Amino acid sequence: MSDLQPVRGTHDFLPEDMRRYRHVVDVARAAAERYGYLEIATPIFEFSEVFKRTLGDTSDIVTKEMYTFTDKGGETLTLRPEGTAGIMRALISGGLRQHLPLKYFTYGPMFRYERPQAGRMRQFHQLDIELLGVAQPAGDVEVIACGAAILRDLGLLDRTVLELNTLGDSESRAAYRQALVDYFTGHSSKLSQDSRDRLTRNPLRILDSKDEGDRALIKGAPVFGDFLNQASSEFFAGVQAGLDTLGIAYQLNPRLVRGLDYYCHTAFEFTTTELGAQGTVMAGGRYDGLAALMGGPATPGIGWAAGIERLSMMMAQDTPARRAIAVVPIGAAAETKAAALAEQLRRAGHAIEIGYGGNLGKRLKRADKLSAAAAIILGDDELAKGVATLRDLDSGEQTAVPLAELEEHLARFR
């Protein structure tokens, strides 16, 4: 039907999009493997309670953005809005805690109902790194270093800034939370409605507000660093020292927070000025309280997520497709030989395109349209001599090559 359109906030990944997507994933996977992270995949949907527990019943994601439905068995399920909760659920339900520490890499689609904009769709895709069972600052450093390595391998690290902050431990966080409540209560009449609602539920989220009036008040709000106890200060110093040792540059951002109580200590984001308002390309933090919140044993954890679409948008140029070799048969006898030859070359690892009809000129035009690197021309004359005409489609040079030596001559076109 001509009026059918993709659902708002979704889009089709056509071959060019998929090349960029695959390039980001392949580069990330390779870098993660160098750091010892093993690839896993969790279901795209979970019992809704998984996300309600982890994101909080009153968070915007739970109240406004989750895609939740009841299945035919009467179960309430939710399409995952983020990746960490599913991985922690797998740790608990799969009895994996005996194998700690665990290092996981995953990627795939996430779903949130929000206003679509550049780099933020309702179905979007993320990379995800999680380190479970390591309580020391060295874990934070490694997770950040792995993220930096991925950005470096994509050619993007120099175009981002690593912003870093500490949320302290639970004692420090409680003291800071009270200080925020005291401060914003004194200015509650000037707060936006959303921030007034957050004042009692989740005051740290006020610091994320984009409202101009709120932003003016935030400038005078207490700073987390003034409420850190000694243990929290020492932990953050350890993270900074580790990053310094590895030569990973960062900027301290005392306003960088995470609103949920299970987050602690390190919070970080790699940001860019190249994507407009959606400047965060990778964001993470330590979440030592998450496992216990979900009903499992206390388990330290730290990780990050990165938007694949946003990384793709920053890539300087299209990821080139692998250039194929076109097999161009001329005549009925050559058609049969060409089919067998194409299969032989594919089994040898070559990307082969074979025309389905048309004369020599039309088939060569199609090979050119496909950006083929070379053409193997087979006609009656070639068959009689046991050769193929191999044409370099960039230079136009062509030579007669014995069929028995064809694979050897194609090596330069891989």
Contact 284, 83 (CB under 8 A): no
* Domain 325-413 fold: Rossmann fold (3.40.50)
pLDDT per residue of the chain (414 residues) written in tens, 0 to 9: 457 899 999 999 998 889 999 999 999 999 999 999 999 999 999 999 998 877 765 556 666 789 999 999 999 999 999 999 999 999 999 989 899 999 999 999 999 998 877 767 999 999 999 999 999 999 999 999 999 999 999 999 999 999 999 999 989 988 988 998 999 998 888 888 888 888 877 788 888 787 888 888 888 889 888 899 999 999 999 999 999 999 999 999 988 888 777 889 999 999 998 887 778 999 999 999 999 999 999 999 999 999 999 999 998 666 677 899 999 999 888 989 999 999 999 999 999 998 777 788 888 888 888 889 999 999 999 999 999 999 999 999 999 999 999 998 998 887
DSSP character for 63?
A: I
pLDDT of residue 1: 44
As a residue count, the chain comes to 414
CATH 3.40.50.800 domain residues, the chain: 325-413
Angle, helices 137-153 vs 15-34, to 10°: value is 140
Report the predicted TM-score, pTM, of the whole model to 2 decimal places: 0.87
Question: Which run of H or of E encompasses 45?
Answer: strand 45-47
The sign of the torsion formed by the CA atoms of 173, 178, 179, 181 equals positive
pLDDT of residue 239: 98
Instruction: Give 15-169+229-314's CATH code, choosing from 3.30.930.10, 3.90.550.10, 3.40.50.300, 3.40.50.720.
Output: 3.30.930.10
From CA 85, how far away is CA 61, in angstroms rounded?
13
State how far the alpha carbon of 300 is from the alpha carbons of 123, 165, 176, 253, in Å.
30, 18, 22, 23
Phi, psi of 163 (to 5 degrees): -100, 135
CA atoms within 13 A on the CB side of 81: 24
Phi, psi of 314 (to 5 degrees): -85, -15
Strands (E), 114-235: 123-132, 161-166
Closest CA to 301 of 52, 134, 97: 134
Degrees to nearest 5, angle at CA 78 with 74 and 81: 175
Question: Which run of H or of E encompasses 368?
Answer: helix 360-369
From CA 32, how far away is CA 24, in angstroms rounded?
12
Tokens of 61: 């994601």
Contact 8, 116 (CB under 8 A): yes
pLDDT of residue 41: 97
CATH 3.30.930.10 domain residues, the chain: 15-169+229-314
State how far the alpha carbon of 298 is from the alpha carbons of 55, 271, 286, 287, 293, in Å.
17, 31, 13, 10, 8
Place of tokens 């690290």: 157
Strands 45-47 and 123-132 turn out to be: unpaired
pLDDT of residue 57: 56
From CA 232, how far away is CA 169, in angstroms rounded?
6
Other CB atoms within 10 Å distance of the CB of residue 9: 17
